[in-house]
Amino acid sequence: MMKKLLHFAEQADTSGFFPQLAKWHDRERVAMCFGTLKPIDPALGRAMLERGVSCVSLDCRDRRDYPLALPRLVHFLRREAIDVVHTHLFDPSVVGLLAAALARTPIRVLTRHYSDYHTRIDRPWHVRLDRMCTAFADAVIAVSKHTADHLIDRESAPAEKVHVIQNGIDFARVCPTNAAARERVRAELAIGDRRVLLSLARLHPEKGQSHLFRALPELKRRSREKFVVLIAGAGGFEASYRDEVHALGCDDVVQFLGFRSDAADLITAADVLVMPSVAEAFGLVVAEALYLGTPVVGSRVGGIPEIVADGVDGILVPPADSAALAEALGGVLNDGALRRRLSGAGRERVRRDFSFETMVRRYEDVYERLNGRGVEGRNGGSLGHRHVA
């Protein structure tokens, strides 16, 4: 029997994750709709409707609106006879899973797109709410083994409830715009014959851009190649990062690009993708770079080592270690043979292991498994958690 499925999220999506869910879901297994906690971004709403997925929004402006939004979501779940609620990220999971529990929605699933963030920033109430969400969920999908280990070891999640399903790539979507993309980007940014190091991430301390900046003076001394560092991404730290680059005397080698919609073209134009994160639940852009043939120099942290084969298609260094980062980048810049050996070495492995379609099928297998092991119907059952058999 087809199940009615609600994916419930925040309000926007710069990565295209939810339109891809709409594209790849099995219409013979589930009838998908999409909901947002906050007013839905118009472009996201259009993308979902174009793929035949209806949308609903609770239109919350801030957290003060959540208490009134909660009964509206409960009413929606009951009226539409939703069989599966699948929530994403923190606030939508708190509201969505509580509503699903009150509505007695038969199957409740949570994807943890972050791992130990609330523990690291010392937010005990957020950690308690994370645990509450795990209790209300029938299954918790961890986007990496690192995330699963944190859930079980640090948040005491029942191991049988946690499923590792790594994020996937829609390979038809992650491709350069045309054969001239590399040359177009290099001409647009006046790169000339310089090597390109690319950081493609939101501007936030968690992404480790400051550690990259602090590596640059040493890298300038080490490198026999001329290079430029492209910082692609937006965020509230841009002004302070610009000041930091200026204070380090590295304005001549850094370009801030802001948000870019041509990520695949940028990756294709780069000689190395740099991912100096201090925390990373998964690291999708790393997998995308390897698929496009661009080697990675990244931190040995979170889910990144589950994607990069150290020494095969990239190089991993300790997090928050600018000296090690400078050494690794210098080695790749100065050694053409190493660069050529790393380039493209991970493409087939990424194609095999990180397919978006496979990810969605595994989501749907979780729904089927939960349905098959006798979850209580919407007219019965408790608000407590239930284990996957």
Model confidence band, residue 378 (pLDDT cutoffs 50, 70, 90): very low
3-state secondary structure of 262: coil
332 CB-near residues (< 8 Å, 6+ apart):
271, 272, 295, 297, 315, 338, 339, 342
**Residue 181 pLDDT exceeds 90:** yes
3-state secondary structure of 324: helix
Is there a common fold for 3-168+355-372 and 181-352?
yes
3-state secondary structure of 310: strand
Ordered by start, the domain boundaries in the chain are 3-168+355-372, 181-352
How far is it, in rounded angstroms, from Cα 158 to Cα 156? 6
Q: Name the pairing type of β-strands 107-112 and 139-142.
A: parallel
In the numeric block, which tokens belong to residue 210?
């400051």
3-state secondary structure of 116: coil
Q: What is the DSSP string of 210-221?
A: HHHHHHHHHHHH
Model confidence band, residue 387 (pLDDT cutoffs 50, 70, 90): very low
In the numeric block, which tokens belong to residue 237?
């730290």
How far is it, in rounded angstroms, from Cα 305 to Cα 314? 10
Model confidence band, residue 389 (pLDDT cutoffs 50, 70, 90): very low
Name 3's bridge partners. Answer: 30
User: What pLDDT is stored for residue 388 in this prediction?
Assistant: 30
Q: Name the pairing type of β-strands 54-57 and 296-299.
A: unpaired
Q: Tens digit of pLDDT for each residue in 70-102?
A: 999 999 999 999 999 999 999 999 999 999 999
Q: Tens digit of pLDDT for each residue in 208-263?
A: 999 999 999 999 999 999 999 999 999 999 999 999 999 999 999 999 999 999 99
Among 12-21, 69-78, 105-114, 379-388, where is mean pLDDT lowest?
379-388
User: What pLDDT is stored for residue 114 in this prediction?
Assistant: 86
By percentage, how much of the chain surpasses pLDDT 90?
A: 88
The amino acid that residue 336 corresponds to is G
How far is it, in rounded angstroms, from Cα 24 to Cα 21? 5
Q: What is the helix (H) or strand (E) element at residue 3, kind and residue range?
A: strand 3-9
User: What is the CATH T-level fold of the domain 3-168+355-372, as seen in this structure?
Assistant: Rossmann fold (3.40.50)
DSSP label at residue 251? G
How far is it, in rounded angstroms, from Cα 37 to Cα 196? 39
94, 129 in Cβ contact below 8 A?
yes
DSSP label at residue 38? S
User: What is the CATH T-level fold of the domain 181-352, as seen in this structure?
Assistant: Rossmann fold (3.40.50)
Question: Which residue's structure tokens are 């869910």?
Answer: 21
Question: Which residue's structure tokens are 């906050």?
Answer: 38
User: What pLDDT is stored for residue 153 in this prediction?
Assistant: 93
CB atoms within 10 A of CB 258: 11
Q: Tens digit of pLDDT for each residue in 326-350?
A: 999 999 999 999 999 999 999 999 9
> Dihedral, CA atoms, 45, 48, 52, 54, nearest 10 degrees?
-50
* Ordered strands of the 107-112 beta sheet: 54-57, 30-36, 3-9, 84-88, 107-112, 139-142, 162-164
